[in-house]
Amino acid sequence: MAETPFTQLDSLVQNLGESFLPLLDRPFACFGHSLGGLLTFEVARWLRYYRQPEPRHLWISAVRAPQLPIPEPPLHALPEAELVAELRRYNGTPAAVLENAELMELLLPTIRADFALLETYRYQLQTPLTCSIKALAGSQDLIVSSEEITPWQVHTTGSFSLEVLPGDHFFVHQPRILQFLEAFFSGKGGKGE
Protein backbone atom coordinates (compact mmCIF):
# COMPACT_ATOMS: atom_id res chain seq x y z
CA MET A 1 0.00 0.00 0.00
CA ALA A 2 3.02 2.27 0.27
CA GLU A 3 3.58 2.10 -3.50
CA THR A 4 1.85 4.39 -5.94
CA PRO A 5 -0.82 2.26 -7.61
CA PHE A 6 -0.93 1.79 -11.36
CA THR A 7 -3.93 3.49 -12.97
CA GLN A 8 -3.13 2.75 -16.64
CA LEU A 9 -3.15 -0.85 -17.83
CA ASP A 10 -0.41 -0.34 -20.43
CA SER A 11 2.21 0.60 -17.84
CA LEU A 12 1.21 -2.28 -15.55
CA VAL A 13 1.36 -4.73 -18.48
CA GLN A 14 4.87 -3.55 -19.39
CA ASN A 15 6.01 -3.87 -15.77
CA LEU A 16 4.60 -7.40 -15.48
CA GLY A 17 5.84 -8.43 -18.92
CA GLU A 18 9.38 -7.39 -18.06
CA SER A 19 9.19 -9.33 -14.79
CA PHE A 20 8.16 -12.46 -16.75
CA LEU A 21 11.23 -12.38 -19.03
CA PRO A 22 13.61 -14.34 -16.76
CA LEU A 23 10.95 -17.05 -16.29
CA LEU A 24 10.25 -17.87 -19.92
CA ASP A 25 12.72 -20.73 -20.26
CA ARG A 26 9.94 -23.25 -19.57
CA PRO A 27 6.30 -23.68 -20.66
CA PHE A 28 3.77 -21.65 -18.69
CA ALA A 29 0.07 -20.90 -18.48
CA CYS A 30 -1.81 -17.98 -16.91
CA PHE A 31 -4.99 -17.59 -14.90
CA GLY A 32 -6.70 -14.23 -14.44
CA HIS A 33 -9.94 -13.40 -12.67
CA SER A 34 -11.95 -10.22 -13.36
CA LEU A 35 -9.43 -7.41 -13.99
CA GLY A 36 -6.73 -10.10 -13.71
CA GLY A 37 -8.19 -11.82 -16.79
CA LEU A 38 -7.77 -8.71 -18.89
CA LEU A 39 -4.30 -8.20 -17.47
CA THR A 40 -3.34 -11.80 -18.27
CA PHE A 41 -4.53 -11.37 -21.85
CA GLU A 42 -2.62 -8.15 -22.38
CA VAL A 43 0.58 -9.57 -20.85
CA ALA A 44 0.33 -12.51 -23.29
CA ARG A 45 -0.01 -10.03 -26.17
CA TRP A 46 2.90 -7.96 -24.81
CA LEU A 47 5.10 -11.07 -24.72
CA ARG A 48 4.18 -11.92 -28.30
CA TYR A 49 4.92 -8.35 -29.43
CA TYR A 50 8.43 -8.66 -27.96
CA ARG A 51 8.90 -12.05 -29.65
CA GLN A 52 8.73 -13.97 -26.40
CA PRO A 53 6.89 -17.27 -25.92
CA GLU A 54 3.12 -17.12 -25.44
CA PRO A 55 1.56 -19.00 -22.56
CA ARG A 56 0.43 -22.52 -23.42
CA HIS A 57 -3.02 -21.69 -22.07
CA LEU A 58 -5.05 -18.81 -20.63
CA TRP A 59 -7.89 -19.11 -18.16
CA ILE A 60 -9.99 -15.97 -18.42
CA SER A 61 -12.46 -15.69 -15.56
CA ALA A 62 -15.36 -13.26 -14.96
CA VAL A 63 -14.29 -10.52 -17.34
CA ARG A 64 -16.10 -9.36 -20.47
CA ALA A 65 -14.30 -9.74 -23.75
CA PRO A 66 -11.96 -6.78 -24.26
CA GLN A 67 -13.56 -5.60 -27.49
CA LEU A 68 -16.91 -5.06 -25.74
CA PRO A 69 -17.68 -1.65 -24.22
CA ILE A 70 -18.01 -1.32 -20.48
CA PRO A 71 -21.75 -0.79 -20.00
CA GLU A 72 -21.71 0.91 -16.61
CA PRO A 73 -20.63 4.42 -15.75
CA PRO A 74 -17.07 4.49 -14.33
CA LEU A 75 -16.80 3.49 -10.69
CA HIS A 76 -13.29 4.72 -9.91
CA ALA A 77 -14.38 8.35 -9.50
CA LEU A 78 -17.55 7.71 -7.48
CA PRO A 79 -17.95 9.35 -4.08
CA GLU A 80 -16.90 7.02 -1.26
CA ALA A 81 -20.42 5.99 -0.17
CA GLU A 82 -21.44 5.10 -3.74
CA LEU A 83 -18.22 3.17 -4.35
CA VAL A 84 -18.71 1.17 -1.16
CA ALA A 85 -22.28 0.40 -2.28
CA GLU A 86 -20.91 -0.92 -5.59
CA LEU A 87 -18.38 -3.05 -3.73
CA ARG A 88 -21.26 -4.59 -1.78
CA ARG A 89 -22.96 -5.41 -5.10
CA TYR A 90 -19.79 -7.16 -6.31
CA ASN A 91 -19.99 -9.32 -3.18
CA GLY A 92 -16.22 -9.86 -2.95
CA THR A 93 -15.35 -7.74 0.08
CA PRO A 94 -16.44 -8.92 3.53
CA ALA A 95 -19.06 -6.69 5.18
CA ALA A 96 -16.78 -6.25 8.21
CA VAL A 97 -14.15 -4.67 5.94
CA LEU A 98 -16.68 -2.41 4.19
CA GLU A 99 -17.99 -1.22 7.56
CA ASN A 100 -14.54 -0.41 8.98
CA ALA A 101 -13.97 3.26 8.09
CA GLU A 102 -10.24 3.24 8.94
CA LEU A 103 -9.57 0.12 6.90
CA MET A 104 -11.57 1.43 3.95
CA GLU A 105 -9.60 4.67 4.06
CA LEU A 106 -6.46 2.59 3.52
CA LEU A 107 -7.97 0.32 0.85
CA LEU A 108 -10.01 2.73 -1.27
CA PRO A 109 -7.06 4.30 -3.16
CA THR A 110 -5.99 0.83 -4.34
CA ILE A 111 -9.56 -0.19 -5.16
CA ARG A 112 -10.09 3.02 -7.13
CA ALA A 113 -6.84 2.41 -9.02
CA ASP A 114 -7.97 -1.13 -9.92
CA PHE A 115 -11.27 0.16 -11.28
CA ALA A 116 -9.39 2.89 -13.17
CA LEU A 117 -7.19 0.23 -14.82
CA LEU A 118 -10.27 -1.50 -16.15
CA GLU A 119 -12.33 1.58 -16.97
CA THR A 120 -9.62 3.49 -18.86
CA TYR A 121 -8.49 0.44 -20.87
CA ARG A 122 -8.82 0.79 -24.63
CA TYR A 123 -8.75 -2.39 -26.67
CA GLN A 124 -6.42 -2.43 -29.69
CA LEU A 125 -7.13 -4.91 -32.49
CA GLN A 126 -4.33 -7.43 -33.04
CA THR A 127 -4.03 -10.90 -34.50
CA PRO A 128 -5.37 -13.60 -32.15
CA LEU A 129 -3.12 -15.48 -29.76
CA THR A 130 -2.26 -19.07 -30.59
CA CYS A 131 -2.65 -20.45 -27.05
CA SER A 132 -5.85 -22.14 -25.97
CA ILE A 133 -8.32 -20.15 -23.86
CA LYS A 134 -10.81 -21.44 -21.32
CA ALA A 135 -13.28 -18.78 -20.23
CA LEU A 136 -15.14 -19.09 -16.95
CA ALA A 137 -18.36 -17.38 -15.92
CA GLY A 138 -20.51 -17.36 -12.79
CA SER A 139 -24.12 -18.43 -13.26
CA GLN A 140 -25.33 -15.71 -10.87
CA ASP A 141 -22.75 -13.06 -11.76
CA LEU A 142 -24.54 -9.70 -11.86
CA ILE A 143 -21.39 -7.89 -13.03
CA VAL A 144 -20.38 -9.89 -16.15
CA SER A 145 -22.68 -12.28 -18.00
CA SER A 146 -21.62 -15.41 -19.87
CA GLU A 147 -22.82 -13.67 -23.06
CA GLU A 148 -20.16 -11.00 -22.46
CA ILE A 149 -17.50 -13.66 -21.85
CA THR A 150 -18.25 -15.86 -24.89
CA PRO A 151 -16.71 -13.35 -27.37
CA TRP A 152 -13.27 -14.15 -25.94
CA GLN A 153 -13.26 -16.91 -28.56
CA VAL A 154 -12.09 -14.49 -31.26
CA HIS A 155 -8.83 -13.93 -29.39
CA THR A 156 -7.32 -17.34 -30.10
CA THR A 157 -6.55 -19.51 -33.08
CA GLY A 158 -6.23 -22.38 -30.59
CA SER A 159 -9.06 -24.12 -28.81
CA PHE A 160 -11.68 -22.16 -26.88
CA SER A 161 -14.18 -23.31 -24.30
CA LEU A 162 -16.58 -21.60 -21.92
CA GLU A 163 -17.72 -23.07 -18.65
CA VAL A 164 -20.41 -21.54 -16.47
CA LEU A 165 -19.94 -22.36 -12.81
CA PRO A 166 -22.35 -21.84 -9.93
CA GLY A 167 -21.84 -18.57 -8.11
CA ASP A 168 -21.65 -14.81 -8.41
CA HIS A 169 -18.73 -12.67 -9.59
CA PHE A 170 -16.46 -14.33 -7.04
CA PHE A 171 -17.28 -17.93 -7.97
CA VAL A 172 -13.51 -18.25 -8.20
CA HIS A 173 -13.41 -19.13 -4.49
CA GLN A 174 -14.45 -22.73 -5.10
CA PRO A 175 -12.43 -25.93 -5.41
CA ARG A 176 -13.40 -26.45 -9.09
CA ILE A 177 -10.98 -23.69 -10.11
CA LEU A 178 -8.03 -25.48 -8.51
CA GLN A 179 -9.16 -28.70 -10.21
CA PHE A 180 -8.86 -27.01 -13.65
CA LEU A 181 -5.34 -25.91 -12.86
CA GLU A 182 -4.25 -29.21 -11.32
CA ALA A 183 -5.68 -31.20 -14.25
CA PHE A 184 -3.94 -28.97 -16.78
CA PHE A 185 -0.56 -29.11 -15.12
CA SER A 186 -0.76 -32.84 -14.46
CA GLY A 187 -1.51 -33.43 -18.15
CA LYS A 188 -5.00 -34.82 -17.45
CA GLY A 189 -6.95 -31.73 -18.44
CA GLY A 190 -6.38 -31.62 -22.16
CA LYS A 191 -5.54 -28.46 -24.09
CA GLY A 192 -8.87 -26.74 -23.47
CA GLU A 193 -9.09 -27.31 -19.75
Q: How far apart are CA 174 and CA 107, in angstroms?
A: 25
Q: What is the pLDDT along the chain (193 residues), one digit of tens a residue?
A: 677 888 889 999 999 999 999 999 999 999 999 999 999 999 999 999 999 999 999 999 999 999 998 877 788 888 888 888 888 888 878 888 888 988 888 888 888 899 899 888 999 999 999 999 999 999 999 889 999 999 999 999 999 999 999 999 888 887 778 887 787 777 765 544 5
Whether 159 sits among the annotated catalytic residues: the reply is no
Domain membership flag for residue 159: yes
CB 41 within 8 A of CB 32: yes
Q: What is the pLDDT of residue 106?
A: 87
Question: Is the pTM higher than 0.95?
Answer: no
In a domain, 2, yes or no: no
Domain assignment of residue 44, yes or no: yes
Does some domain include residue 40?
yes
CATH number of the domain at 60, please: 3.40.50.1820
Q: Is residue 4 part of a domain?
A: no
Count CB atoms within 10 A of the CB of residue 12.
18
The domain tally of the chain equals 1
**Residue 193 within a domain:** no
* Those residues with Cβ within 8 angstroms of residue 112's Cβ, 6 or more apart along the chain or in another chain: 76, 77, 83
Do 162 and 149 touch, CB atoms closer than 8 A? yes
The answer to whether position 19 is within a domain reads yes
Domain assignment of residue 47, yes or no: yes
- Residue 63: which domain range? 9-184
**Non-local CB neighbours of 120 within 8 Å, separated by 6+ positions:** 7, 8, 9
In the set 11, 34, 145, 186, the catalytic residue is 34
